[in-house]
Structure 1
Amino acid sequence: METPPNCDRWSELPVDLLRCVLERLSFVDFHRANMVCSNWYLCSKQTLGPRYGSPLLIMSEEEGSYRLYNPEEDRVYEAKSNYRFLGSSGKWFLVVDSRSDLYIINVFSNEKIRLPPLETVKSSLYNIERLGGDKGFELFIEHAKILVTTKDLRAVLWVDEKKRDYVVVWGFEACPYLRFWKKGDVNYREISTRFDLWLYGLKDMVLKGNSLYVRTVPNNIQHLVLSGQDRFEVVSEIYRPLLRTDEYERLIRENKIISLINNIVVTTSQELLMVQTLAYESSSFERHRMFHLYKEQDTKFIKVDSLGDEALFLDLGITVPADHTLGIEPNSIYFTRDDRFCHKRDSYIDICVYNLATKTIKHFPSLSNLKLKDAQWFFPS
C-alpha cells in the first residue's frame, strides 16, 4: 500500500470507519496501512488485526524485485527493491544494495538503518579496499590479494525490538575473518575463523542474541559470545567428525548422490543440532531430498529422529514452538535451500515443508511459476 498523495484527508476518516477498513485487511496490508500517518497508526493499535506471528517468505526474483508470500492466505504481495537480502530477524532484514552498502530495513514500513561501509574495518592483519561501482572489493591478507563482490558476502542479523538494539555479523566467503557490529560501535570488529595456517573458510553461522555459532573448515564449530567493549569470548569449541549414514553409503555406491550439506541449528532450549540435507536422484532421474538430525551431546553428535513439538527453520538456523493456529507444523523442517553460506554450482530453490515423522514434503503450487533466484523463511515478530 503506497502512502496516499493527500495524507491529511485520509487521516480525517472517522475512527469507526477506519477501524472497519483495517479489520478487513490482510496481514501484510495491515502492517503497511499503519504507516500511512499517525492517526492510522494509533487506530491500528486499537484494532484487532490479522493473526500475528505466522511464518512468511521473502522471495527475490531474477529481474531484481522481491515479493512476500503468506502461506496461510496463499497470497503473494509484490514490492520493488534492488536489495539483496542477507539475513533476517523478525520483520527486519540485513540487505546490501547495488552500491555495495549495508542496511537494516523493515520490510513492511521501509524504515532503514544504514551501516558503516564494508571497508570500515579496524584490523592490523588485513585491509579492504572498495574498487568503485559494482566492481567489488580487494582484500589484502598476509601479502595476498583477493577480489570479492557482494555475491561472496555472508551475514546474519539479530534485532531486539523492545530495546531497539541490533547485532550484525558478516564476512566474505574467501576471507578467514568475520566482522561484527553492535549498535553504538564506531568500527566493525573482527573474529578469526582460521583453523590453522592454511585451513580456513566459512561454512555456516547462526546468531541468536549475542551468541554466535560458527562452522568453519574443516569441521570446527565454535560458540562465541559478542560482549560489549568491542570484545568476544569463545565459550566452547567442537570438532565435528564426518557424519555418514547407511542411506548415504548406499546412495554413494549407486552413484546417485547430488550433494550433501550440513547446517547448524540452535533450538529453543539452546541445544546445538546438525541438520544433514542429502539430495539424490532416483532411477527415473527425479530429484529427491533426505534429512537427518544430529544432536550435540558431550562434544559428540548423536543421531535423533524427531524435533518433538518444534519446527525447524533452516534459513534462520533456529527451532520454534509449533503452533497450529499460526500454521507452524510440529516436527517439520521449513526449507528453501541448503547452501545459503556455502554455495554449490547445482544450487536450486526448493520451497517446502518436510515432515520428519511421515517423511513427506509439502510444496506450494502457487509459487511454481515464479522465476526466483533466492527465497527465505522469516517471522514478522
Structure 2
Amino acid sequence: MKKKLNPNYHKRLRGEASKSWSDLPFDLLNLVFERLSFADFQRAKSVCSSWRSSSRQCVPKNHIPWVLRFPQNNENSSCMLFNPEEKDKLYKTQDLGLEFAKSSCMKTYGSWLLMQNLQSNLFIVNLFTGERINLPPVESQFGMTKIQSPVFWIDEKTKDHVVSWARSKKCVVYSKTGDNSWNKIPKSSGCLDMVYKDHKLYFSSYSGKVKIFDFSGEIPQQIVIDTTRKSTACRQPSLSCEEKHIVPPLVILKPIDYSVHWPSIDATNIVVTVTGDVLKVVKVWTYWSRSWSFRLYKVYSLGFKQHEQVYSLGDEAMLLDLGITVLANDNDGIRRNSIYFSDCKNTNKVFHFSFETRKMERLHKFDCSSVQLSSSQWFLPSNSLRHD
C-alpha cells in the first residue's frame, strides 16, 4: 500500500530548498566561487546577502582577458566590454564622468585604468566602481612632456600603488602611494618599453639592454643580472632571405620604395612570462599579405642574461598590451600558444596570432553602429567588486 503524503509536503520541500541556497556551508560556497569566471562570479554574488558576504573571501579564476572598447566622442563617458567566454555579447559600464570621457587610457591593471587628461596629468580610476586616485601633477613638474611606456600596479584592498613612465628618452620616473611628486630612476635613459610585475619594474632600452628594478622596498634597487652565461644565439633579429620576398631589379626611371613590399619590424616590446622569464617580442608587418607575425627571444631567465629564440609559448597565451603571459585553456575562450594584441594604428581592432598555424586573425567583429568606438585594449578584470 502506498504511503499517503502530507498535502503540505511539496510546499515544505520547496521552502526548505529555497532556504538551503542561502544556508550553504561557507566551504562549499568557496568551492563554487573559485570555479567561476569573472562574469559568473559577479552574477553569483548577487543571489543573496549570504552569497555576497561569502564572495568577499573568495578569489575566482580571473585569468581570462577581456576587451575594453572606448567611445570615440568626448561626450560618452561609458565603455563597452567584451568577454571571450560569451561570444557576440557586449556589456556597458556605468557613467564614469565627464573628465573620463575627455581623457585617454594609457594602461590597464586589473579593473583599474591609468588615464591622462587634457592637461597631461594622470589619475587612476576603477572601471566598475568609479573610484578614483589622483597622482602627482605632471605638467607643473615637467611642463608639457610626452608620457611613454606607462605601467602601474595597485593593491585592491589597501589601494597602495606604483606608477612609472618614461619622459621620452630622457629618464624613467615613478610615484608610489603618498608621493607628492615624481621621482627619477637613475641610469634609465633611452627607454623602449617597460613592464611592472610582482613588485619589479622590467626596463628595455633602445640599445637592447634589459634592467630590472626591485620596488619591494622604500627606494627602487636595481637587480644585478649575471652576464657570464653564454648566449645560445647572439645574433640580433633580422629578416631572413625567405621572408624578404626578394624582387629582381628593374630598369625604371624613378626609384621604388621596396620597404612597402618587404617585411619590416613594426614594434619591439618586452613581456614577462608566468615563470618570470623576460621575452623580447619583435612584431613584423608584411605589406603584401597585410598581416603581422612575431618573433620571440628569451633575454632573461633565472637571474641570467640570455639571447635565444623561442618558438612556442606552450600552455601560455601572451597579452601583448599588458606585457605578460597567462595560463590558457582553449575551452575558456582564450587559446594557448597564442598572442593577443591590438592594432596601434587602427586601435579599434583586436587580433589573435597563433604560433601553431603562424597565422593572424581579427577577433570579434561587432555591430556597434549605435556607438562610435575609437580604440580597444585587452585587460584582465580583477575582483575588486567583492570588497564592496
User: Structures share a fold, TM > 0.5?
Assistant: yes
Aligned pair partner of 1:246 in 231, 240, 250? 240
Distance 1:108 1:31 in 2: 11
Structure 2 partner of 1:144: none
Structure 2 partner of 1:293: 296
Structure 2 partner of 1:111: 131
Distance 2:375 2:186 in 1: 28
Tell me, what secondary structure is at the counterpart of 1:44? Answer: helix
How far off its partner does 1:248 sit? 7.5
Tell me, what secondary structure is at the counterpart of 1:181? Answer: strand
Structure 2 partner of 1:229: 218
Distance 2:184 2:109 in 1: 22
Distance 1:15 1:59 in 2: 41
Tell me, what secondary structure is at the counterpart of 1:250? Answer: coil
Instruction: Please list, as runs of the form range in 1=range in 2, the aligned pairs for 1:122-271 lying within 5 A after superposition.
Output: 128-129=142-143, 137=144, 148=145, 152-161=147-156, 163-172=158-167, 174-192=168-186, 200=190, 202-236=191-225, 242-246=236-240, 250-251=244-245, 255=259, 256=261, 257=263, 259-271=265-277
Q: Which structure is larger by alpha-carbon Rg, 1 or 2?
A: 2
Distance of aligned partners of 1:261 and 1:49 in 2 relative to their CA distance in 1, 3 Å threshold: closer
Q: Which amino acid aligns with 2:193?
A: D
Distance 2:305 2:338 in 1: 25
Tell me, what secondary structure is at the counterpart of 1:367? Answer: coil
What is the TM-score of this pair, normalised by structure 1?
0.70
Q: Which amino acid aligns with 2:319?
A: F
Instruction: Please list, as runs of the form range in 1=range in 2, the aligned pairs for 1:56-71 lying within 5 A after superposition.
Output: 56-64=66-74, 65=76, 66-71=79-84
Conserved 8 A contact 1:67-1:78? yes
Distance of aligned partners of 1:247 and 1:42 in 2 relative to their CA distance in 1, 3 Å threshold: farther
Conserved 8 A contact 1:178-1:191? yes
How far off its partner does 1:249 sit? 5.6
Distance of aligned partners of 1:57 and 1:350 in 2 relative to their CA distance in 1, 3 Å threshold: same
How far off its partner does 1:260 sit? 2.8
Q: Which amino acid aligns with 2:163?
A: V
1:358 lines up with 2:357 in the alignment: yes
Conserved 8 A contact 1:58-1:378? yes
Distance of aligned partners of 1:44 and 1:215 in 2 relative to their CA distance in 1, 3 Å threshold: same
Distance 1:29 1:323 in 2: 17
1:308 lines up with 2:314 in the alignment: yes
Structure 2 partner of 1:11: none
How far off its partner does 1:153 sit? 4.4
Q: Which amino acid aligns with 2:356?
A: A
Q: Which amino acid aligns with 2:334?
A: I
1:76 lines up with 2:90 in the alignment: yes
Structure 2 partner of 1:380: 381
C-alpha deviations, 1:128-157, integer Å up to 9, x for none?
Answer: 23xxxxxxx2xxxxxxxxxx35xx444111
Tell me, what secondary structure is at the counterpart of 1:366? Answer: coil
Gaps of 5+ in 1: 1-13, 121-126, 130-136, 138-147, 340-345
How far off its partner does 1:373 sit? 3.5
Conserved 8 A contact 1:30-1:49? no
What percentage of residue pairs aligned between the two structures are identical? 29
How far off its partner does 1:32 sit? 9.7
Tell me, what secondary structure is at the counterpart of 2:124? Answer: strand
Distance 1:94 1:376 in 2: 12
Structure 2 partner of 1:367: 366
What is the TM-score of this pair, normalised by structure 2?
0.69
Conserved 8 A contact 2:63-2:327? no
How far off its partner does 1:60 sit? 2.1
Aligned pair partner of 1:95 in 115, 133, 136? 115
Distance 2:330 2:226 in 1: 36
Aligned pair partner of 1:281 in 266, 283, 287? 287
Conserved 8 A contact 1:189-1:230? no
Q: Which amino acid aligns with 1:116?
A: P
Distance 1:40 1:103 in 2: 34
CA-based RMSD: 3.8
Relative contact order (C-alpha < 8 Å, sep 6+): which is higher?
Answer: 2
How far off its partner does 1:237 sit? 8.4
Distance 1:59 1:248 in 2: 37
